[in-house]
Structure 1
Amino acid sequence: MKQIFGLLCLIFCTIPVCAQQSNSRVITPFDANWKFALSDYKKASNAGFNDKSWRVLDLPHDWSIEGKNLQTEQGGGNVGYFPTGIGWYRKTFDISNLNKDKKIRIEFDGVYENSEIWINGTYLGKRPYGYTSFSYDLTPYLKPKGNVVSVRVDNSHQPNSRWYSGSGIYRHVRLVETNQIHFEKWGIFSYTKEIGDDRATLSIKASVANEKTIAMDKVMIKNVLYTKSGVEVASSQSSIDLKANTTKEVEQEIAVSNPALWSLDNPNLYTLASYVYVNGNEEDCELNTIGIRTIQCDVNKGFLLNGERVKMKGVNLHHDAGAVGTAVPERVWERRIEILKSGGCNAIRTSHNPPAPEFLDLCDQLGILVMDEAFDEWLVGKRDYSYKLYFANWYEQDLKAMLLRDRNHPSVVMWSIGNEIPDQGTAEGSELAKKMIAICHSLDPTRLVTAGNDNIAADKNRATEEYLAAYENDIVGYNYPDRYHERRELLYSIDKAKYLNRRVVATETSGIGGNRVRTAIPSMSGFNLRRGSSAVTQLIDVEQRWKFTLLNDYVIGDFIWTGIDYYGETFWPSRGASSGYLDNCGFKKDGYYFFKSIWTNEPVLHLTSNWNREGEEGKVVPVICFTNCSEVELFINNNSYGVKTFEFPRTGNSGNWNSYEPEKVFTSTADLHLAWDVVYQPGEIKAVGKKDGKEYVSRIVTTGAPIKIRLSADRDVIKALPSDVAHITVEILDKNDNLVPYADNLVKFEIDGAVIIGVESGNLSNLSSVKAHERKAYGGLCQAILQAKKEGVFYFKAISEGLQSAELEITAIK
C-alpha cells in the first residue's frame, strides 16, 4: 500500500491556503494583498501606474455589499438597490527562480462582470460573463521582480441582472505553474463506467499538451486512485507519442475492488492523481477529488443513484450569502448547506449560473445532488444590459467552461442550459437548445440536460413543440408546473400521457417563504380558515403538488423557490426577496418545518403561531401545525381544543379486508398540515403529538418584555483562515429566557482579536450597513459573522440599551 498524505492534505482542505507543491506542478493562492479603487482610471493598466493611495485588501471581494442601498441606484430593485459601477484591482508580485521552460497561468474563478486583464501593461483579454471561470497564460510577459497584474471590472451598465450580482473579483484567484508537457486545464475527466457486486470500473480521459518544439516519444500517463486517508487502491498506465505543439487525449480504465460508493448518506470521496512521465521524470501531476457512483434518469422510475430510487427534494439558491454578499467564505456555505440538509433537502439548483467551485466541493463532501445551471437568458433578454448582449459570441465558451470545470464532481447529476428562456417560443430557441445539448453530451456523456421552462402550457409565448422535442432524450424541466388551467390539479400527467418516454423534473416551484417574523398563516382581522386566504391557498397548492411529486415515481423531483432569502429582485425599500424557508442569516422560518415534515422521517412538531397578539384577546385566530405525527392534541392554557389526525400516504388494506399493516390512522384532514380555529388568550399554547408510539411536545408562550441578550456560536473553535468564520446568533430574551418575537432592539458589538465581516437580521427592509458593528434585532434575532486573522482567544460582546449584555469566547487555531 502506498500513501500520499502530503498531497492529500491539500486536496481535502476546504480552501487552498498554502501552495500545492509537487515535483512538477505548483498551485499558489493569489488572493492576498491586492490594491483596489472604486473608480475608473484610464492608465491603471500601465505597470508603472501609481496606486499607493489605493485600498489594500484580500480576495474574494464584493464592493457592492460594502455600499449604501439607495433608491436612485441604476440597478434598482433588481440588485437590491446596492451600488455597482467600475472598479480596478492591481497586484504586484515577484516570480522567484523564473524558468523560461515553465508555463505560468493565472486563474480566476469568477469576476462580475466585463473583466479585462493586463500583465505588465500587456492586454490579455476580456470576459463579459460574471460567472465563468477563466485563465490567461502569463509566461511570455513575466520577469523575476516587479510584475503587475491589473484587472478592470465594469458593472456600470445597469440593469444587467434580475438579482443581486455583487461586483468585483468575488471568487478566488491562483497561479498555476507547470512544465511544457502538462495536462490541459480541466483536461482530466473521470466517471464511473459500471458498478458490480464488489467492483467498479472507472473511465478516465486525459488531455495532454506538448508545448515543446520537439516531439516526445513514449510519454507515460499514469492514474492512481487513493482513499481519503491516502491509501492507494487502484492504478493504470499507458504510453503515447506526442508531436510538437499538439494535444492528445488518452483513455484509460481503472478497476476498483470493493469501492466505497458516493451517496447522500455516505458521500465517500477518492483522490485521483494523474501523472505525466517522460523518460522516468515526472512532468505533471494533477489531483482531482471524485466519487464512485452511478446515476440514471428512468422515464418511469425517476432518478436512480447507485440503482436506488431517490426523489430530489430540492431548492433553488442564488449565489449571495447575506451580509458577506457574493464574496462568500466557505464556512458560510457549509453551514447553510448543513441547515438545508438537516431539513431533508437533498438537491440544489444553482439558479441561474455556475456556482463557485468550492460550493460544489462542499456538495460533494456533504452529500447533496446538484443541478448545475449555465444561463438565465439566451438571445432574447430580460434586462437592458444583460447577457443577451454577449450570448451569441460567448455562449459556447461559457457553457464549455462550466462543463469542463464541474464534470468531475459526483454531486453534479444534471446540467441546465437555461432558465425561463423567452427563446423557448421561437424557432431560434429550438436550434440553440439542440446545439447546447449536443455540446453537453460531447463533453460529458454521463449526465442528461434540462432547462427551467415556464411556458410549457402558457397562454402567451408558449414553448414550441420543436423546442420541447430538443429535450425528449434528456429531461423536460418545468417551472411552476401547476400554474396554468387544469394543471393546477393534473400537473405533468397531461404531458406524460401524450409523451410516454418524457422525463420530467420541476426545476422551479412555489415554496413557503415569507417574512420570518410573521407566521406562515398570518393573523387577519376576522380570519377563519374556512373563509380562506392567499396564504392558505398557496400552502394548499404546495401541499397538493408535493403529494403528486412524492406519489409518482416518474417525477424526478421538485426544486422550490427558494431555499434561502436573497438580495435583489425586490421593490423599495426592501433589499431582497423573502421567498426562502431560511432567511438570509440562515434562521429557520415556518416553511422549513413544513418541508422537513414531508421530506424526512424525523419527528416534526411545529406550531406556526406567534402567541404575542396584544389587542386580539377574545378573537378567533388560526393555529397551524406542521407535523408528521399521526395525531396531535392542541392545548391553550391547559384547555384542550381537540385531537387532529394525519396520515400521508394513507394506508390501504393489507392481507384481508379491513386489515391494515401498519395500523390505519383515521385522518381528520387530507391536507399536509393540521389546523385549529381558537379563541386567543395570552398564556401558553401547546401541541402534544404522537409518532411511532412516542410522544412529542411543542410550546409557544406569550412572552414578557425584553430583558437580556443571549449569544451562541455555531462553533467556538475556528481556524485563523479566510475560509473559516464563526456565526454568532444574538437572541433577545424575556426574564424566563423566552425569545421575544417582537423585539427589535439595536444591538452593538465589540470584538477583541478578530473582525466582524458582516451583520444581518433577516429584515430585508433594514437599510443600515451590513458591514457595521451594530444591528437591530428582527423577531428577537440578529447575527454577526466573525473571522480570525490570527491564532488566539478572542471575546465577542453584545450590548443594547436597557438589556443585560452578553459575552462569548471564541478560539482561533491554525
Structure 2
Amino acid sequence: MYGKGQGKRIMYLCDEKVREKQNFNLDWYFYHGDNQIQTGQTQVSDYEPVKLPHDWSLYYLWKEDAPSCGSGGYAETGIGWYRKIFDVNPHAFTKGRVFIHFEGVYMLSTVWINGHKLGQHVYGYTPFEYEITQYLHEDGRENVLDVKVDNSAQPGSRWYSGSGITRNVWLVKTSDTYIAPFGVGIQIPGIEEDKAHISVEISLAHAEDKKLSVQTTVFSPDHEICLELCTDRKGETNTLHQQGIIGTPLLWEVDAPFLYEAVTLLYDQDTLIDEVHTFFGIRTAVFDADKGFLLNGRQVKLNGVCIHHDGGCMGAAVPLPVWKRRLEKLKEMGVNALRMAHNPPDSALLDLCDRMGFLVMDEAFDEWHYLKGKELGSNTHESHGYSLWFDTCHEEDLRTMLLRDRNHPSIILWSIGNEVPDQTAPEGYLTARHLKCICKSIDPLRAVTQANDQIAAEPRAAREEFLNELDVVGYNYVGRWRTRAETYYDEDKRNHPSWCMIGTENSGLGGMRGRYLFGMEEKAGWWMRPYYSAPIEVGRLLRYTMTHDYVAGDFMWTGIDYLGESHWPNRSANAGVLDTCGFAKDSFYFYQSIWRRDIPVAHLLPHWNMDVDQGTILQVLGYTNCDSAELILNGKSYGKKAYSYPDYGMTQTYGHFDKEPIPVNTDNLFLGWDVPYEPGYVELVGFKDGKEVVRDRVETAGEPYAIKLNCYQDTLAADGLDVGQIEIAIVDEKGRLCPQSEQYVQLSVEGAGELIGIDNGNSASHESMKGSGIHVSAGQAFAVIQSTGSAGKCVVRVEAEGLQSAGIELSFTKHR
C-alpha cells in the first residue's frame, strides 16, 4: 500500500564534519487511527512501511460525506502515527548536539524520542526542530522516534491540505556551540555601478562566555573567492555583524539568476566548531507607485500565477522533480512570478525559484483572528482553522518563515495574509501593523502586502486605514464590484496616488482540459464561462495590467489545478493553465501569446473531435501573437483577422508610424471565427510583416489505436527518493492524440522503481491516485515512478484493452 519493504537500517551521523545534516526520510512506519500509541516501543506490526515525505490522505478513496468537505477535496484526514527505529553514531552526541528537524507536518504534531515528549507544533507549513541529544541511547540500543499527527479538526482548510509528515525530515549534528537555525542572514543594502554592499548577520546558540570568531568567505557564481570577512565576538553578544563590498557583481535577474555562496565558519579560538553554507543573489527589488516593480532598477511587469502546495497525485508530499517539470512549463508560457498561495511553501521549491529565475510572493497566513467558513461542497460541519491558534502561534510561525526564507533572491514581496476578514474590521489595521513590524524587524528591505478581496466591496469594504498599513496594496478580483468591472484600479489611483498596487489574485480562464462549455452550467459557478467568452473578461484586465505602468503586475488564479475547493462530484479545482497532471490546457497558449513576444505563437481550439452534428456552427478561437492570422478548414480559407494589442500611435512626425498599421477586427486578445463543423483538419496560420511564421494544425483523430509514452528525465538517482514522470497518451494509427478517448490503462513496473502516483487531470474522477491503473481523460494520463533504492533499470509498461501497449525504460544510478 505504501511502498516496498524497508531495507537495512542506516547508522546515522558517521561523518567527521563539525556540522552534519543527513536526510531522514527513509525507513519510517505509519499507522492511521486514533488509538493511543505507546511511544518508545519498537513493535511495528500494526504499521505500514513508508517513505517521507508522506501524505496519507490520498491513500483512501474520495467520499462525498468526508469531514474535509469540498474545501478539503473530500479527502480522508483524521489522526496518524509515524515511527522510525534508528541508530546513531555515539560520537555524534557525546561530543556535540543532535537535532531532529521537520520541514513541515500537517498538522498539530507531537514528537517523542525514546518515550520522552519533545513538544508540539501546530502549523503545517512552517519548520521546527528539537534537540534530542540527552535522550539518545548511549548503550547501543535502538532509538525510537514517534510522531503523532492530528488533522481531525475538519473542515480545517479552504483547500486540500494533505495529512502527515509532508515535507523532508533531517537529522542534524552540531558542536556544543553553533550557528543558530536559519542563523545566517545576508542583505544587499545597496548596489552601485561596479560594486555591491553586503551585510551579514550571524546568530549564535549556546555561546556562553566563549571567545569566538566568525569568518565568512563569499564565492562568486564562477566559484571564485570575491570577499573574505572576519569578526571577533565582543562581550557576550549572540549576534555578530559583518559588512563588505563585492566588486563588479553579477546581478540576479529573471533571465540570468546568478547565485553567490557564503561559507560561514565559527571558531572557538583556533578550533573550527561550525560551518554553514548560504546561497544568495545580488539584486534590488523595489515597488514604485508610478513605475510598478523595478528589478535592479529596470521595470519588470510581474506576469504571475498563484500556485498551491499540492502536486496532484503526490498530494502535499511533492518530490522536487515534480515541481521542476511544472515550473519549466510555466516558464515556457511566459510566467516570471509565483505567488505561494496561501502559506509558506516547501523550502526546496524556493531553492528552485532561485535557480530558475522566478520572482516570488511568499505568503504566511490565510487566517488571522477571524475564522473563515470552509463548508464548500457541504454544509454539515463546523469549520476550524488557523484563527483558533493565531494568538499563540503567529509570531513564531511568521518569524520562522522570514528567517528561513530571507536569503532567497527570488522573494521580492512578503504577504502577511490572504483575504483575511480582518481587513473590514475596525481593529484589523492594528494586526496588519503588528505583522508588518515583525517583517521589518527581520527584513527591512522587502515590501509587505496582504491580498485583499474586499476593496470597494459591499456591504462592507476593506478599511482605508488597513490598506494604508501595506507597502504594496494587493488586489484580489479588482474588477468584482460595480463600475470597477470597467475601471479596475483607476479610482484608487486617483484617490491614493502614493499607493503601490499589484493584482495579488485575479481570474484565469479555468476549465477542464479537453472539455468545452457551450453555456453556463448549473452548480459550475458563475466564474465557469463558455470557452468562447472566458478570454474576453480575462483579456480586458490583462490588457489593462500590461499597459499601465503603475500596476506592478498580476498573479492569475491559478497556474496549476489543485486539489480541494470543489463541489461534488469534483474533488479538485479547474482554475489552472496546467491540470493536476501538469498537462497544458488551451489557456496556456492564451497567456503565452501575450507574455512571450520572443517566439511566434499560434494555437487553435477546440479540438476537432467535437461531439456535435456536422454543420453545427462552432466558434473557433485562435491564440496568437502574430500581426494577423488566417483560419483554414479542410483547405478553405475563412479569412485573415487581427487584434489591436499592443497598439501604438504615431512617432516622430504626424502620420509617421514605426510599423505600418493593419486593419484589426477586435480589441480582444484573441481571434475568433464562426465555422461549420466538419471532420478533417483546421489550421491557424500566423503572419508577421506579411510572411508566414507559425502554423498550428488540429486534425480529427481516428479511433484509438496505441499507447504512446514520454518520460521526463529517464536517468535518476538510486537513492530511494528520486522520481521519474511518465506522460501517457492514447493515439490513433497516425500517431495523433485521441482527445475523445477515456479508456482504462493498466501499469506494471519491474526493476528498480515503483509506482507511487497516477492521475488523469479529470477533477471529477474518483479513481485512486495510488492505484495501478486509471481511465485517461481527453486521451492522457500521468504516472510517477520512484526509486526503490537499488541501482539498475526499471521498465514501465502500459496496457489498454484493444490497443497496442507501450513500454519505457528508466535508469536508476548511484552516481547521478
Instruction: Calculate the TM-score normalised by the size of structure 2.
Output: 0.93
**Residue 608 of structure 2 corresponds to residue 611 of structure 1:** yes
Q: Tell me the percent identity.
A: 40
Report deviation, 1:242: 4.8
The 8 Å contact of residues 42 and 144 in structure 2, kept in 1 or not, is answered as no
Q: Give the counterpart of 1:479 among 463, 476, 479.
A: 476
Q: After TM superposition, give the deviation of residue 802 of structure 1 in Å.
A: 0.6
Aligned residues of 1:585 and 1:760 also touching (Cα < 8 A):
yes
Q: Which residue of 1 aligns with 2:809?
A: 809
Distance 1:60 1:262, change over 3 A: same
Correspondence 1:216 to 2:210: yes
Which residue in the other structure is 1:6 paired with? none
Are the aligned partners of 1:119 and 1:147 in contact in 2 as well (CA < 8 Å)?
yes
Match of 1:28 among 19, 22, 25: 22
| Aligned match for 1:747, one of 728, 745, 748 | 745
Shift of 1:691: 2.5
Matching residue of 1:4? none
How far is the alpha carbon of 1:765 from its aligned partner? 1.2
Q: 1:302 aligns with which of 286, 292, 295?
A: 292
Match of 2:798 in 1: 798
Deviation of 1:535 after TM superposition, in Å, equals 4.7
- Residue 651 (structure 1) shift: 2.1
Which amino acid in the other structure matches residue 133 of structure 2? T
2:196 aligned with 1:197, yes or no?
A: no
Spell out structure 1 runs of 4+ moving beyond 6 A: 17-20
* Whole-angstrom distance in 2 between the partners of 1:18 and 1:99: 11
Paired residues for 1:759-778 under 5 Å: 759-778=758-777
Instruction: Summarize the Cα distance change of 1:615–1:662 in structure 2 as closer, same or farther, 3 Å threshold.
Output: closer
Counterpart in the other structure of 1:556: 552
Q: SS in structure 2 opposite 1:405?
A: helix
Change (3 A) 1:708 1:206: same
1:113 maps onto 2:107 in alignment: yes
CA separation of 1:399 and 1:20: change in aligned 2, threshold 3 A: farther
With 716-725 and 103-112 compared, the bigger mean Cα shift is at 716-725
1:657-672 matches, cutoff 5 A? 657-672=654-669
Counterpart secondary structure, 2:54: coil
Query: Secondary structure in 2 aligned to 1:41?
Result: coil
The structural deviation recorded for 1:396 is 0.7
Q: Which residue of 342, 345, 358 corresponds with 2:348? A: 358
2-structure distance, mates of 1:577, 1:88: 30
Instruction: Give secondary structure in 1 for the equivalent of 2:682.
Output: strand
Amino acid at match of 1:794: C
Cα 1:600/1:20, change in 2 over 3 Å: farther
1:250 to 240, 258, 261: 240
Q: Which residue of 2 aligns with 1:529?
A: none
The residue identity in structure 2 corresponding to 1:407 is R
Find the aligned partners of 2:242 and 2:612 in 1 and give their Cα distance. 74
Matching of residue 624 in structure 1 with residue 621 in structure 2: yes
Q: Does residue 492 of the first structure (1) align with residue 485 of the second (2)?
A: no
Question: Does the alignment pair 1:337 with 2:327?
Answer: yes
Instruction: Establish whether residue 238 from structure 1 lines up as the match of residue 231 from structure 2.
Output: yes
Q: Give the distance between the partners of 1:663 and 1:725, measured in 2 at CA.
A: 52
Is residue 2:83 matched to residue 1:90?
A: yes
Q: Within 5 A, what are the aligned runs for 1:373-772?
A: 373-383=363-373, 384-471=383-470, 474-519=471-516, 522=518, 535-601=531-597, 602-692=599-689, 693-753=691-751, 754-772=753-771
Question: Structure 1 CA distance, aligned partners of 2:85 and 2:278?
Answer: 30
Aligned counterparts of 2:579 and 2:529: Cα–Cα separation in 1? 23
Q: Secondary structure at the match of 2:645?
A: coil
Give the alignment partner of residue 265 of structure 1, picking from 255, 268, 276: 255
Q: CA deviation at 1:78?
A: 1.4
Instruction: Select 1:77's aligned residue among 66, 70, 73.
Output: 70
Is contact 2:52-2:166 (8 Å) kept? yes
- 2:12–2:87: 8 Å Cα contact kept in structure 1? no
The 1:507/1:19 distance shift into structure 2, 3 A limit, reads farther
Distance 1:796 1:210 in 2: 52
Alpha-carbon distance, 1:524 to partner? 9.8
* Secondary structure of 1:476 counterpart: strand
Could you tell me which of 307, 322, 340 is aligned with 1:317? 307
The alpha-carbon deviation at position 222 of structure 1 amounts to 1.0
Secondary structure at the counterpart of residue 78 of structure 1: coil
In 1, Cα distance between equivalents of 2:93 and 2:793: 43
* Aligned counterpart, 1:42: 36
Q: Is 1:290 aligned with 2:280? A: yes
Of 672-681 and 173-182, deviating more is 173-182
Instruction: Report the 3-state secondary structure (helix = DSSP H, G, I; strand = E; otherwise coil) of the residue aligned with 1:783.
Output: strand
Instruction: Structure 1: give runs of 5+ residues left out of the alignment.
Output: 1-16, 526-531
Q: Distance in 2 between matches of 1:134 and 1:242?
A: 30
Kindly state the Cα deviation for residue 18 of structure 1 after the two structures are TM-superposed.
Answer: 9.8
For 2:250 and 2:148, the matched residues in 1 are separated by 46
CA contact (8 A) 1:331 1:723 kept: no
Contact 2:600/2:693, CA 8 A, preserved across alignment: no
Summarize the Cα distance change of 1:98–1:343 in structure 2 as closer, same or farther, 3 Å threshold.
closer
- What does residue 338 of structure 2 align with? 348
The residue aligned with 1:139 is: 133
Contact 1:43 1:49 in 2 (8 A): no
Contact residue 645 and residue 666 of structure 1 kept, 8 A: yes
Cα drift, residue 147 of structure 1: 2.1
Preserved contact between residue 329 and residue 722 of structure 1 (Cα < 8 Å): no
Could you list the per-position Cα deviations for residues 427-483 of structure 1 after superposition, in whole angstroms to 9, with x for gaps in the alignment? Answer: 231110000000000010111110110001101221112211211xx0110000011
Amino acid at match of 2:645: F
CA distance in 2 between partners of 1:307 and 1:77 (Å): 45
Partner residue of 1:129?
Answer: 123
Distance in 2 of aligned mates of 1:342 and 1:533:
26
Q: Quote the offset at 1:654 in angstroms.
A: 1.8
Are the aligned partners of 1:18 and 1:29 in contact in 2 as well (CA < 8 Å)? Answer: no
- The structural deviation recorded for 1:614 is 4.3
CA distance in 2, matches of 1:22, 1:143: 20
Any conservation in 1 of the 2:102–2:169 contact (CA below 8 Å)?
A: yes
Deviation (angstroms), 1:210: 3.2
**How far did residue 216 of structure 1 move?**
1.7
- 2:306 is paired with a residue whose SS is strand
Structure 2: runs of 5 or more not aligned: 1-10, 374-382, 522-527
Letter in 2 for 1:191: Q
Query: What secondary structure is seen at the aligned counterpart in 1 of 2:238?
Result: strand
2:378 aligns with none
Instruction: State the alpha-carbon separation in 2 of the partners of residues 785 and 533 from structure 1.
Output: 32
State the Cα distance separating 1:786 from its structure 2 match: 1.2
Maintained 8 Å contact 1:523/1:621: no
